[in-house]
């Protein structure tokens, strides 16, 4: 019997890659799909921490990452030994970690969150009287502290793509466009940008916001996130003017270099069994990382 190969693609991959996938989604949707799909092999057209999460949730399946270089700056900027010491310093706090983290990092967390459920999970913890520390995304943590009046100590790593958005270029670029305008942004962006946004949310959240848009038909919607999602927004609402949020004049650089390593050739090779096999995590490492992920999945059901 031939092996069942399932290909997953994140919204930030190029349109041609999304068209090769059985399922396209954000981090939370892809994690759930990876857990429940009856696959012998999962090809994960995303980045390494996503492929690792798929393996942790579905250890029976062989998980292949198309390109060994597909990392994430939130992972590479986090030294796990230093993180363990930081966690120890706040031993009486609940450690909430963003899913953009290595398996070792996840094993040091009490809860994993994605950008889709982070607001609700942290609100739930505060409602129970817990004190919370948040890692690794400093921008997302700063936004949560600002938005809800929390005082969470934050780890300090950033997404190198979203961190490039800045208030001045944004205001300048938006001022150059006539008519009504809106800004929607991913919470990995810097706080001054998020304060200007009409909506802050995950990639799926932004997509839903665009899908439901019913204000001025001639409005321009600026999107502060990776440009892959503009493809999905265009498919959902071809009638709207949707534009990348400017980083600086003429810059088309809202691209994640790691997501874009998922080329057609690399994904095809992975579908044929070549690529990086996620087979280096020990059962103990996977068990330790699975606990806080499962806590999140149970909460989000
Ligand atoms: P989502 O959780 O919105 O899919 O985002 C993942 C990511 O890597 C954002 O840069
Ligand atoms: Fe990591 Fe940023 Fe790329 Fe997302 S866009 S995978 S956070 S580097």
What residues does each domain of the chain span?
5-70+259-280, 162-244
pLDDT at residue 9 is higher than 80: yes
Number of H helices, E strands in the chain: 14, 12
pLDDT at residue 40 is higher than 80: yes
pLDDT value, residue 246: 87
Q: What is the mean pLDDT of residues 186-201?
A: 98
Centroid of ligand 1 to alpha carbon of 186 (angstroms): 8
CB distance 100 to ligand 1 below 6 Å? yes
- CA-nearest of 54, 23, 28, 26 to 41 is 54
pLDDT value, residue 220: 97
CA distances from 116 to 208, 214, 224, 279 (A): 12, 22, 16, 28
pLDDT at residue 4 is higher than 70: yes
Ligand nearest to the CA of 29: 1
Instruction: Supply the residue whose CA is at minimum distance from atom 6 of ligand 1.
Output: 27
- CA-nearest of 255, 142, 119 to 192 is 142
Superfamily per CATH, domain 162-244: NadA-like (3.40.50.10800)
Please tell me the number of Cα atoms within 13 Å of 26 on its side-chain side: 19
- 194: enclosing H helix or E strand: helix 191-195
CA 12 – CA 230 distance, rounded (Å): 9
CB distance 202 to ligand 1 below 6 Å? yes
Q: What is the mean pLDDT of residues 18-44?
A: 95
Chain Cα centroid distance, residue 266? 21
- Average pLDDT score, the chain: 96
pLDDT value, residue 73: 98
Centroid of ligand 2 to alpha carbon of 160 (angstroms): 7
CB distance 232 to ligand 1 below 6 Å? no
Ligand nearest to the CA of 48: 2
Mutate to test the pocket of ligand 1, among 100, 137, 207 (most ligand atoms within 8 A of CB): 100
The two domains 5-70+259-280 and 162-244 share their CATH topology (first three levels equal): yes
Number of CB atoms found within 10 A of residue 269's CB: 16
CB 111 within 8 A of CB 94: yes
Q: DSSP states of 56-88 as a string?
A: HH-TTSEEEES-TT---HHHHT--HHHHHHHHH
pLDDT digits (tens, 9 = 90+) for 68-100: 999 999 999 999 999 999 999 999 999 999 999
CB distance 270 to ligand 2 below 6 Å? no
pLDDT digits (tens, 9 = 90+) for 93-122: 999 999 999 999 999 999 999 999 999 999
Superfamily per CATH, domain 5-70+259-280: NadA-like (3.40.50.10800)
Question: What number does the ligand 1 atom closest to the CA of 205 have?
Answer: 3
CB distance 261 to ligand 2 below 6 Å? no
Ligand nearest to the CA of 137: 2
pLDDT value, residue 275: 95
Note the pTM of the prediction, 2 decimals: 0.96
Is the Cα dihedral 49, 50, 51, 55 positive or negative? Answer: positive
CB distance 53 to ligand 1 below 6 Å? no
CA 110 – CA 292 distance, rounded (Å): 5
Ligand nearest to the CA of 72: 2
CA 52 – CA 47 distance, rounded (Å): 9
The residue assigned the tokens 């929390």 is 150
Q: What is the mean pLDDT of residues 227-240?
A: 96
pLDDT value, residue 127: 98
pLDDT value, residue 250: 62
pLDDT at residue 267 is higher than 80: yes
CB distance 72 to ligand 2 below 6 Å? yes
Percent of the chain with pLDDT over 90: 95
**pLDDT bracket for residue 199 (50, 70, 90):** very high
Q: What is the mean pLDDT of residues 260-269?
A: 98
Beta carbons within 8 Å of 112's beta carbon, 6+ residues apart: 96, 97, 98, 99, 101, 106, 292, 293, 295, 296
């Amino acid at each position: 019997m031939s092996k069942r190969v399932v290909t997953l693609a994140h919204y930030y991959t190029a349109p041609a890659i999304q068209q090769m996938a059985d399922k396209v989604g954000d981090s939370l949707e892809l994690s759930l799909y990876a857990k429940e799909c009856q696959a012998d092999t999962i090809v994960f057209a995303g980045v390494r921490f996503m492929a690792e999460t798929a393996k942790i949730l579905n250890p029976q399946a062989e998980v292949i990452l198309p390109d060994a270089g597909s990392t994430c700056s939130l992972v590479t900027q986090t030294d796990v030994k230093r993180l363990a010491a930081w966690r120890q310093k706040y031993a009486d706090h609940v450690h909430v970690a963003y899913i953009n983290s290595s398996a070792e990092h996840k094993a040091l967390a009490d809860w994993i969150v994605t950008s889709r459920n982070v607001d609700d999970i942290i609100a739930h913890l505060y409602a129970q009287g817990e004190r919370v520390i948040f890692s690794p995304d400093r921008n997302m943590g700063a936004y949560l502290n600002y938005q809800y009046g929390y005082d969470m100590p934050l780890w300090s790593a950033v997404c190198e793509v979203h961190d490039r958005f800045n208030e001045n270029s944004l205001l300048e670029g938006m001022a150059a466009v006539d008519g009504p305008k809106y800004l929607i942004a991913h919470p990995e962006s810097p706080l001054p940008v998020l304060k200007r946004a009409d909506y802050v949310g995950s990639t799926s959240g932004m997509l839903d916001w665009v899908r439901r848009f019913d204000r001025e038909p001639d409005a321009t919607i600026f999107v502060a996130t990776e440009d892959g999602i503009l493809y999905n927004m265009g498919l959902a609402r071809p009638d709207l003017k949707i534009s990348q949020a400017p980083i600086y004049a003429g810059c088309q650089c809202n691209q994640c270099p790691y997501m874009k390593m998922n080329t057609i050739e690399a994904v095809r090779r992975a579908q044929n069994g070549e690529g990086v096999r996620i087979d280096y995590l020990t059962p103990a490492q996977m068990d330790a990382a699975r606990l806080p992920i499962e806590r999140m999945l149970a909460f989000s059901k």
